[in-house]
Amino acid sequence: MVREVLRDALPTVLAAASGAGASVGEPTLPSGDQTRRTEVSRDGEWVVLDSDEDLRAFVARLVQLFDNPRHRQDLRHGRMRFRLARSAGGPASADAPAAPDPVVRIERGAVTEKQVRDASRAGARLVLGRAAVLTPLARDRARALGVHVEKER
């Protein structure tokens, strides 16, 4: 009963008051809601839009957010922010949206075709140290997959 009243009152309290008011109200909220709220309001959610599947997932996420009256208010008033995660790779890169430009560093030894393929799957670019040697097959594969290879001098 108390929880329901608080839940109804909380959006207005949160909108009106600053951090002090929020810290009074929040302990009664379920912890899942609380973390989601801070994540959304502070730095926004990372969104990957590389394929139709990603777009469908994003729309589903919006519909899900709309079910919650508080999130609906937030969306309507622009308090909920979304950030576009850029990725060079294919659909597999959706697994790591928090790192938009990952780098695979190889300091020494042979850089084989397999390592190039793994980097491509992770959507990463390759940075080779002075002692690293790119094999001809790996160079061909990097060109075919569009993996950026950078050699340090």
Partner 1 sequence: MSNNAIGMIETKGYVAALAAADAMVKAANVTIVGRDEVGEGFVAVTIVGDVGAVKAATEAGAETASSIGELVSVHVIPRPHAELSKHFKVAAE
Token pair, residue 61, equals: 């996420």
Using CB under 8 A as the criterion, what x/- string covers residues 49-88 for binding partner 1?
Answer: ----------------------------------------
CB 82 within 8 A of CB 97: no
x-marked contacts with partner 1 along 92-121 as a string, rule CB under 8 A = ----------------xxx-xx--------
Neighbour count for residue 88 (Cβ, 10 Å): 17
Q: Which amino acid appears at position 77 of this protein?
A: H
Sign, CA torsion 127/129/130/131: negative
108 vs 148, beta carbon nearer partner 1: 108
Tell me how many degrees the CA angle 66-58-72 measures, rounded to the nearest 5.
Answer: 15
Query: What minimum distance in Å lies between the beta carbon of 143 and partner 1?
Result: 13
Residue 81 or 108 having the CB closest to partner 1: 108
| 144 is a contact residue toward partner 1 (CB under 8 A) | no
Residues at the interface with partner 1 (CB under 8 A): 108-110, 112-113, 131, 133, 135-138, 140
